[in-house]
Amino acid sequence: MGSPSRVAAVPALLRRLNVRRVIEALQRHGPCTRAQLTRLTRISPPTMSKLVAILVREGIVERGRKPVPTRGRPGILFHLAKKKAHVVGVVVDIHETTIVAAGLDGQPLSGRQVVVPTPHDVDQLVAAIVPHIRHQRRSARSELRYIGLTVPGLIDRATGRVVFSPNLHFLDGVNLGERLKKELGTPVATFQEEHALCLAAQRFGDAKNLTDFVLLDVSAGFGMGVVSAGRFITGSTGFAGEIGHIRVQLEGRPCGCGNRGCLETVATDYALARAASERAGRPLTIAQVAEEVRQGRLALDGILEDVLEYLALAVSIVVNIFNPQAVLLHGGLFEIEDNIVSRIVERARRMTMRPSLEVCQVLRTSANKPAGAIAGALERVWAELGPVLQ
Ligand SMILES: [Zn+2]
């Protein structure tokens, strides 16, 4: 197993810091020769040779087959493991649960993604997830290092317990990660959904070069993740970011949190799909709404504007408070028309401090929840190997 003691043949902190620097470089730049890694990390060539040897021995890094021509003698390309080790991401959402396996380079292993309906019962949920991970572990024929689990709602940062899930109350007080660990014998890290999405955007997506950004996820509930000065804001216990449960309509609809008129009830995929379903006279998912609109069978006049107005309010709030370089938007409603984001920005302009909005990009993120769960699992694998100097 990938316990720290195996890498800790040389347990010095400096060695661990250097190990982490090599991993960060490979994650950021892709396959590299030893010479390239030396240049990128400023670690001396003899030390680099030792570090790469350790990482190869540990199954964290693999060597490419063919030498590539470089200045001087041909170099071997090294990359994060794809064959010897993998991680699994589990995304529990309101209706569906996704299980995906990926190499340590974060790339999903082909054919290793499964989507099952989310049973609203803890034992059934565990029973729905575990066989797929066992099957994946057998067929990948590599070591499963970590499982990254995301669950909507408030997660206790210290224990991974679900404290309160407004849309999946059967998980309130449950430590799903512990249950999965007990069944599978693999360590499990539980992340708040938006934290995982931010990690995915930082590792694989639009936020690679950003130190300050806000991610607004309206795909199920209304979630927010904030990275400020390079750090994800957790609050004292990990509950920070619940903008979705701020009341914006005094006499609004009941919300899963127990209050009324929360932003979540008016500015999400769900809110738009609900209003569109009422107009169409039949239940529609957000994907079906988008399709109906594209086919010209459904008009959203009035309905869409209301949702965009509240989304603009959310953008204006986060821009005024956090002064981010970017606001990244995640949700299905952005599929409905190409210009949804610019319509939100236009509205936000009327209610936001102008200098703050001028320095902020608002865009759709390419990050998705399975990539978030994978990024969370990898974060823990790397953390066991060595810390990062901030
Ligand atoms: Zn609420």
**Residue 285 contacts by C-beta under 8 Å, 6 or more apart in sequence?**
273
Q: Determine the distance separating the centroid of ligand 1 and the alpha carbon of 201, expressed in angstroms.
A: 26
Q: Determine the distance separating the centroid of ligand 1 and the alpha carbon of 251, expressed in angstroms.
A: 13
Give the model's pLDDT for residue 118: 96
Q: Determine the distance separating the centroid of ligand 1 and the alpha carbon of 260, expressed in angstroms.
A: 7
Q: What is the DSSP string of 306-331?
A: HHHHHHHHHHHHHHHHH--SEEEEE-
How big, in percent rounded to 5, are the helix, strand and coil portions of the chain? Answer: 45, 20, 35
Q: Determine the distance separating the centroid of ligand 1 and the alpha carbon of 176, expressed in angstroms.
A: 23
Say if residues 84 and 211 touch (Cβ distance below 8 Å): no
Say if residues 22 and 41 touch (Cβ distance below 8 Å): yes
- Number of neighbours of residue 313 by Cβ within 10 angstroms: 20
Q: Determine the distance separating the centroid of ligand 1 and the alpha carbon of 220, expressed in angstroms.
A: 13
Give the model's pLDDT for residue 321: 97
How far apart CA 288 and CA 304 sit, in angstroms, is 15
For the chain, list residues with pLDDT below 70.
1-11, 69-73, 389-390
Structural element, H or E, at residue 89: strand 85-92
Cα–Cα–Cα angle for 276, 197, 18, rounded to 5 degrees: 170
State the DSSP code for 171.
Answer: G
Q: Determine the distance separating the centroid of ligand 1 and the alpha carbon of 253, expressed in angstroms.
A: 10
Give the model's pLDDT for residue 92: 97
pLDDT, one tens digit per residue, over 234-256 is: 999 888 999 999 999 999 999 98
Q: Determine the distance separating the centroid of ligand 1 and the alpha carbon of 243, expressed in angstroms.
A: 9
Q: Determine the distance separating the centroid of ligand 1 and the alpha carbon of 341, expressed in angstroms.
A: 24
Give the model's pLDDT for residue 2: 46
C-alpha to C-alpha distances, 206 to 49, 269, 365, nearest whole angstrom: 33, 22, 6
Q: Determine the distance separating the centroid of ligand 1 and the alpha carbon of 301, expressed in angstroms.
A: 26
- Number of neighbours of residue 210 by Cβ within 10 angstroms: 17
Domains and CATH numbers, the chain: 4-80 (1.10.10.10), 85-198+370-382 (3.30.420.40), 208-365 (3.30.420.40)
278 φ, ψ (degrees, to nearest 5)? -60, -40
Structural element, H or E, at residue 255: none
Residues facing residue 329 across a β-bridge: 216, 364
Give the model's pLDDT for residue 390: 56
Q: Determine the distance separating the centroid of ligand 1 and the alpha carbon of 369, expressed in angstroms.
A: 21
369-385 vs 193-204: helix axis angle to the nearest 10?
A: 80
Q: Determine the distance separating the centroid of ligand 1 and the alpha carbon of 245, expressed in angstroms.
A: 4
* Residues measured by CB to lie within 5 Å of ligand 1, the ion: 245, 255, 257, 259, 262
pLDDT, one tens digit per residue, over 339-371 is: 999 999 999 999 999 999 999 999 999 899 999
Give the model's pLDDT for residue 13: 82
